[in-house]
Structure 1
């Protein structure tokens, strides 16, 4: 009977160790999930900053062109035409 008790005791110890390891893995998983969420949020913030800087860059290019710079004249004309079409569309909607 003592042999069975030894086997059961050894099994209990191993199960206890597995449960401890499981708890450790769960804690690690929670920590990693939190880090992932933080990283995702930081990524989104960086994307917004990039978009903002791109918009500022485009506005600066247009301003430079309007000040007499020969660079990007075509792009500026296209942008102005697009803005005029949008304004015309808004006026047409208001007229209806």
Structure 2
């Protein structure tokens, strides 16, 4: 084997070792990225659940607000009707005199 062939073989071995080292580094990086992806997906799922809960609470608050307004409006309506009934009773009483 000549010196040139030895140098080529040494160079080839060096490049193969570099490729293997790069491959191992990329495998580790892939594992880290997969783990990070799983963590992020879990966070997304938790946030979606939290969002659903908050949306339901918001809908409940809107419904409660509508009921409160309805109760106030119904009280006002009852008060107006009672006032009208009293006025009608006064008018009837005056007509009966």
TM-score under structure 1 normalisation? 0.70
Q: Deviations over 1:12-63 (max 9, x none)?
A: 0000011111111000000000000000000000000000000000000000
Secondary structure at 2:76 match in 1: coil
The whole-number CA distance in structure 1 between the counterparts of 2:34 and 2:73 is 58
The ranges of structure 1 where at least 4 consecutive aligned residues each deviate by more than 2 angstroms after the TM superposition are none
* 2:41 is aligned with 1:33: yes
Counterpart for residue 15 of structure 1: 23
Counterpart for residue 59 of structure 1: 67
Let me know the Cα RMSD of the aligned residues: 0.9
Report the alpha carbon displacement of residue 68 of structure 1 after superposing the two structures with TM.
1.1
Written as runs of structure 1 = structure 2, the 5 A alignment for 1:46-85 is 46-68=54-76
**Structure whose alpha-carbon radius of gyration is higher:** 2
TM-score under structure 2 normalisation? 0.69
The whole-number CA distance in structure 2 between the counterparts of 1:58 and 1:6 is 77
Structure 1 unaligned segments of length 5 or more: list them.
70-96
Structure 2 unaligned segments of length 5 or more: list them.
1-8, 78-97
